[in-house]
Amino acid sequence: MKKIIIINGPNLNLLGNRETDIYGSTTLDEIEQISINKGNELNLKISFFQSNSESEIIELIHKVQNDYDGLIINPAAYTHTSVALLDALKTISKPKIEIHLSNIYNREEFRKSSITSTGVDGMICGFGSLSYILAIEALNGLLVN
């Protein structure tokens, strides 16, 4: 069974209560459960993690190369600011996908740029919690090929 880690960045622990007009009413716990269910359908073991700490996220990214077969990351606000996350992502040769609940290209000007996207194989954004399911399916496709 392939092992996938889904890493979630800052403030995503507030989903369901935070700016529901942008991020929806689905909580991170609910997203975790639908992600695990999708993983089970595809015979993937999903590990799910959230942190508001950039250093914790970087430490987890460092573990991907040896401990996981692929990575899905929602860097949240770090998307637009973190060269450190980008550098960590570039150290991994395993398949990796960046996701966002909202369409970052249809938001404020500063959100239209993703520093971290050049360190991943692809990006999915704008589909709410479905972005996670789409990323799991896409990553599974990358792992099979």
- Per-residue pLDDT tens over the stretch 131-144: 999 999 999 999 98
Q: List the structure tokens of 110.
A: 């500063």
**Chain centre distance of CA 27:** 15
- Asked whether the predicted pLDDT for residue 24 surpasses 80, the reply is no
Of 129, 123, 118, which is closest to residue 23 (Cα–Cα)?
Answer: 129
| pLDDT tier at 110, thresholds 50, 70, 90 | low
Cα–Cα distance measured from residue 117 to residue 44, given in angstroms and rounded to the nearest whole number: 24
Does this model's pTM top 0.75? My answer is yes
- Whether residue 64 contacts residue 92, with contact meaning beta carbons closer than 8 Å, is answered with yes
Alpha helices in the chain, H assignment, sequence order: 20-23, 28-41, 54-67, 83-90, 130-144
Q: How far is CA 31 from CA 12, 28, 129, 133, in A?
A: 11, 5, 6, 9
| pLDDT tier at 102, thresholds 50, 70, 90 | confident
Whether residue 68 lies in the annotated active site: no
List the catalytic residue out of 68, 78, 100, 132: 100
Question: What's the chain's Rg over C-alpha atoms?
Answer: 14
Domain boundaries, the chain: 2-144
List the catalytic residue out of 23, 68, 78, 132: 23
CATH number of the structural domain 2-144: 3.40.50.9100
Whether residue 100 lies in the annotated active site: yes
- Whether residue 27 contacts residue 101, with contact meaning beta carbons closer than 8 Å, is answered with no
